[in-house]
Amino acid sequence: MIPTTQKPKGPKGLPFVGYLPAFRKHPLKFLKRMAEEYGDLAYFKLGPQHVYLVNHPELVREILVLRQHNFTKSRMLQRARILLGDGLLTSEGQVHVRQRRLVQPAFHRDRLPAYGKVMSDFARRARDRWQPGATLEMSHEMMQLTLAIVGKTLFSADVQSEASEIGQALTSVLEMFDILLLPFSEYLEKLPLPSVRRFERARTVLDETIYRMIRERRACGEDRGDLLSMLLLAQDEDDSGGMTDTQVRDEALTLFLAGHETTANALTWTWYLLSQNPECEARLHQEIDEVLGDRSPSFDDLPQLRYAEMVIAEAMRLYPPAWAIGRMSKEAFELGGIEIPAKAICITSPYVMHRDSRYYPDPERFDPERWTPEKKEARPKFSYFPFGGGSRVCIGERFAWMEGVLVLATISQKWKLRLAPDQRVEPLPLITLRTKYGMRMKVESRGTARV
């Protein structure tokens, strides 16, 4: 144990701004450098804010699980209320507990087989529209596909005709968050700046989509057994009434956006990594041919698609959609022998932890074999946490794993994807880990494909 009198290690930084400029310019490189130079608990300042980068599995467990009641969400998700209201991502305390209880049934295991069929069907439709030799923007393709899937599975809605408009609105919203995280951004958002106006227009597009679905469902009064019906019919245990349209909107928009944005990013990075590792791609194709032949995959096939799951797991190790998870301490506490003050930000970064050579030798190498049961068991649990942990672990984790594997298998039955020769590849850390320059890829027919 480190003596409690020891001060946290970290760079001094500039007067007033600390390391805010460096962090905003290259957040991934900055956090990785902090961990490499200052160890498992690095201290630095972002403007006036005290920040601690937590980079050891046991310490991450303390933040996300053992001491979770001593934390609120970080500034990023507090500021996200301007878009998401009091949905699952942003709500705190008893409000969060209540909302999670009301939403949880939509993700119960008995619903997954039906969701799986939608995922495979929609992925098959998408791949069958592609032509050999075509160059596609895969980040756009995956966004449209996962948006259609979440619309159908959770809201029984066909949003494919609106996918482009919704996708553009989401991009505008995410770009605005870079500004919302600035000190005093509460005042900036009230100014008639072009970026603020783009954000407001984008929020209007998203609101109109969600409120239209709520209005149509309330009008017909039909219980379709999906998430939207559950939200509209939900009653508290104390019989204090159901959810208002605003409360339903907050939950629906949160899951509508989070449910497709993260999976689309994970799949985009997966296609890129497979294109750079043909041996792994060949192993994936072999498994798919042996397990599926020429039929579409289903929920029941998931136990046999083990290598496909390992591919997704390794892609999310290198490019986790949630690249950083922040928590603000309510009260001072001790962590790893260091006194952490109240109102400090503790950052746990899957992107940094997943590249730690103590747990992943040759960490930059794409190697799905890291995810054999024996190797997984040998690593500490919180050396890998793409979906967070504790009571706020991603409610759609099983949904996302299934979607990733089924979409990967369905498309890989027919196609190989190759990176366009002039395509630059660099991550873009917004709320999720997007691709900075897109991901243009050429479609090639599989020589052994039987579909």
Report angle CA 107, 109, 113 to the nearest 5 degrees.
100
Query: Is pLDDT above 80 for 75?
Result: no
The side-by-side arrangement of strands in the sheet containing 41-46 is 41-46, 49-54, 345-348, 325-329, 71-73
Tokens of 361: 């030798």
DSSP string, 51-117: EEEE-SHHHHHIIIIITGGGEEE-HHHHHTHHHHTTSTTT--HHHHHHHHHHHGGGG-GGGHHHHHH
Most distant pair of Cα atoms in the chain: their distance: 66
- What mean pLDDT is reported for the chain? 88
Q: For the packed helices 138-155 and 245-276, what is the interaxial angle rounded to 10 degrees? A: 140
- Any idea which residue has 């709500």 for tokens? 91
3-state secondary structure of 307: helix
Radius of gyration of the chain from its Cα atoms, rounded to whole angstroms: 22
What value does the mean pLDDT take over residues 291-310?
A: 97
Q: Residue 3 pLDDT more than 50?
A: no
For residue 351, pLDDT beyond 80? yes
396 within a domain of the structure (yes/no): yes
pLDDT at residue 73 greater than cutoff 80: no
Q: Is 9 inside any structural domain?
A: no
For residue 1, pLDDT over 70 is answered with no
Average pLDDT of 349-378? 97
Is residue 238 one of the residues assigned to a domain? Answer: no
Please give the Cα distance from 97 to 87 (Å, whole number): 11
The mean per-residue pLDDT over the stretch 58-75 comes to: 90
Q: Which tokens in the block code for residue 242?
A: 């159901």
Which helix (H) or strand (E) segment holds residue 444: the answer is strand 440-445
Residue 3 buriedness (CB in 10 A; 0-12 / 13-18 / 19+): exposed
Residue 213 within any structural domain of the chain: no
pLDDT digits (tens, 9 = 90+) for 128-141: 999 999 999 999 99
Q: Is the pLDDT of residue 449 over 60?
A: no
pLDDT score, position 448: 46
β-pairing verdict for 49-54 and 345-348: parallel
pLDDT confidence of residue 200: 84
Q: 428: exposed, middle or buried (C-beta count within 10 Å: 0-12, 13-18, 19+)? A: middle
The confidence score (pLDDT) of residue 196 equals 76
What total of structural domains would you count in the chain?
1
Mean pLDDT value of segment 355-377: 97
- Assigned domain for 230 exists: no
Helix 306-318 to helix 397-412 angle, to the nearest 10 degrees?
A: 110
Tell whether the model's pLDDT for residue 96 goes beyond 50: yes
Confidence grade of residue 420 (pLDDT, cut at 50, 70, 90): very high
Please check whether residue 137 lies inside any domain of the structure: yes
pLDDT of residue 260: 86
Judging by beta carbons within 10 Å of its beta carbon (0-12, 13-18, 19+), is residue 94 exposed, middle or buried?
exposed
Q: Look at 93 and 381; give whichever has higher pLDDT.
A: 381
Runs of H (alpha helix) within 366-451:
373-378, 397-412
Q: Which of 80, 88, 178, 90 is nearest to 430 (CA)?
A: 178
Confirm whether 232 is domain-assigned: no
**What's 14's DSSP letter?**
B
pLDDT at 76: 65
Domain with 30 in it: what CATH number?
1.10.630.10
The answer as to whether 388 is a domain residue is yes
Residue-range definition of the domain harbouring residue 407: 20-75+110-160+255-445
**Strand partners for 54:** 41, 348
Residue 109 pLDDT greater than 80, yes or no: yes
How far, rounded to the nearest angstrom, does the alpha carbon of residue 150 sit from its chain's CA centroid? 14
Q: How far is CA 398 from CA 250, 255, 392, in A?
A: 22, 14, 14
Higher per-residue pLDDT: 341 or 202: 341
Q: Which amino acid is at 266?
A: A
Q: Hunting for tokens 């997943």 — which residue is that?
A: 354
More reliable by pLDDT, 156 or 137: 137
Confidence of residue 210 (pLDDT cuts 50, 70, 90): confident
Average pLDDT over every residue of 424-437: 93
DSSP string, 392-409: GS-TTHHHHHHHHHHHHH
Given a contact cutoff of 8 angstroms between Cβ atoms, the answer to whether 251 and 231 are in contact is yes
In sign, the C-alpha dihedral spanning 145, 146, 152, 157 is negative
- What residues pair up with 18 in beta bridges, in sequence order? 14, 46
Cβ atoms of residues 181 and 76 within 8 Å: yes
